[in-house]
């Protein structure tokens, strides 16, 4: 697979990464552990070198899974993980809120190193901005970990432009991870131009709209109460009907390219900037192969203009998160 550099920080990864959250968090039913490990290793065999996890996924067991699955490839792949939530050390409760105090950041780093079975964390994101801790203190704590060789690169997730600038002034930010796709284009307004200015890479999560842009979810789809999409306004039946226009657009473009809607959605992201690396998640090998195939699709200027012409007229219905989660984005 093609490689890309995330900004100007010499962090080179596969053009498409793998989001690992759904292997053990948010999207039940989960695969058996041996199936997930086989998928992780199959991804490496197919050229994926960038994997995304977090301590809060589980909590903890997603990092352990990624650590086990990628143990044979130490030094050949880049693993990103995240800190920033208040979680009991025994995992007995999920996040009670944010906690990016310097002491907590160090505690998370030490624990994540063990779970991931690595000597250095390739990319260490603040998962959500913590209003209680100045971002300069957060950046300073990660800077110390970098100086000690425990972390290679510093990242932020769902942070606003001012927060990114302030953090970057203390410790260069290698990458921002935020939601970005044809059905969530807010980063284009302020974030993407600023990332280009500062030389920061962009890692879109939910690049397929939590599965919606694959074309496999219509108004008749149902979600278990344990599936995060069951609580998201954008996945209410009436919103899915309205938002089908985006899927129709991707389907039409895909037919001409002999590609699936998902592949066109990912190819569109890759065409926006050379330092954008989406991380679609999946638990199925055939979906992994489909996503990887997007890296080989070239969208011409005419293709992109056609997509923009239609997409600009589509108003996406429904909030992307329930209110209590949207309040934690830091934007």
pLDDT computed for residue 329 by the predictor: 57
Q: Which contacts of 161-168 are long-range, i.e. CB under 8 A and separated by 24 or more positions?
A: 161/190, 161/191, 161/194, 163/129, 163/135, 163/330, 164/191, 164/194, 164/195, 164/198, 164/200, 165/194, 165/198, 166/135, 166/136, 166/139, 167/135, 167/136, 167/138, 167/139, 168/139, 168/198, 168/200
CATH number of the domain to which 167 belongs: 3.20.20.100
Whole-structure pTM value: 0.96
In a domain, 28, yes or no: yes
Query: Which pLDDT belongs to residue 327?
Result: 62
Contact 26, 94 (CB under 8 A): no
Supply the pLDDT for residue 331: 44
Question: Is residue 219 situated within a structural domain?
Answer: no
Asked if 57 is an active-site residue, the reply is yes
Q: Please indicate, yes or no, if residue 153 is contained in any of the structural domains.
A: yes
The reported pLDDT for the residue numbered 150 is 98
Of 27, 57, 125, 180, which is the active-site residue?
57
98 part of a folded domain = yes
Report if residue 11 sits inside a domain.
yes
Per the domain annotation, does 142 fall within a domain? Answer: yes
**Residue 246 in domain:** no
Amino acid 269: pLDDT: 98
pLDDT digits (tens, 9 = 90+) for 240-296: 999 999 999 999 999 999 999 999 999 999 999 999 999 999 999 999 999 999 999
Which positions of the chain have pLDDT values less than 70? 93, 325-331
Task: Count how many domains the chain has.
Answer: 1
The residue segments making up the domain with residue 201 are: 3-210+269-297
* Whole-number Å distance between alpha carbons of 235 and 217: 9
In a domain, 316, yes or no: no
């Amino acid at each position: 697979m093609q490689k890309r550099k995330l900004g100007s920080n010499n962090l080179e990864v596969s053009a498409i990464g793998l989001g690992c959250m759904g292997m053990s968090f948010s999207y039940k039913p989960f695969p058996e552990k041996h199936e997930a490990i086989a998928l992780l290793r199959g991804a490496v065999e197919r050229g994926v070198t960038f994997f995304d996890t977090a301590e809060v996924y589980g909590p903890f067991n997603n990092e352990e899974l990624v650590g086990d699955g990628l143990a044979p490839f130490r030094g050949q792949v880049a693993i990103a993980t995240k800190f920033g939530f208040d979680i009991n050390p025994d995992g007995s409760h999920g996040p009670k809120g944010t906690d990016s105090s310097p002491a907590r950041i160090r505690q998370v780093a030490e624990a994540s190193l063990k779970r991931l079975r690595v000597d250095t964390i390739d990319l260490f994101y603040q998962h959500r901005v913590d209003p209680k801790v100045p971002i300069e203190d957060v950046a300073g704590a990660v800077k110390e970990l970098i100086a000690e060789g425990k972390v290679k690169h510093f990242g932020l997730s769902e942070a606003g432009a001012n927060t990114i600038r302030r953090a970057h002034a203390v410790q260069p930010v290698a990458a921002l991870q935020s939601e970005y796709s044809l059905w969530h284009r807010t980063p284009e307004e302020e974030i993407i131009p600023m990332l280009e200015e500062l030389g920061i890479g962009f890692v879109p999560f939910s690049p397929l709209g939590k599965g919606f842009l694959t074309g496999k979810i219509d108004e008749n789809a149902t979600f278990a109460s344990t599936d995060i999409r069951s609580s998201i306004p954008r996945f209410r039946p009436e919103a899915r009907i309205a938002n089908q226009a985006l899927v129709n657009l991707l389907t039409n473009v895909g037919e001409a390219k002999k590609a699936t809607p998902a592949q066109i959605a990912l190819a569109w992201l890759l065409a926006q900037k050379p330092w954008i690396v989406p991380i679609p998640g999946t638990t199925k090998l055939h979906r992994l192969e489909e996503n990887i195939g997007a890296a080989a699709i070239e969208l011409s200027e005419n293709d992109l203009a056609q997509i923009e012409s239609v997409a600009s007229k589509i108003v996406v219905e429904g909030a992307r998160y329930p209110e209590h989660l949207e309040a934690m984005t830091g934007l």
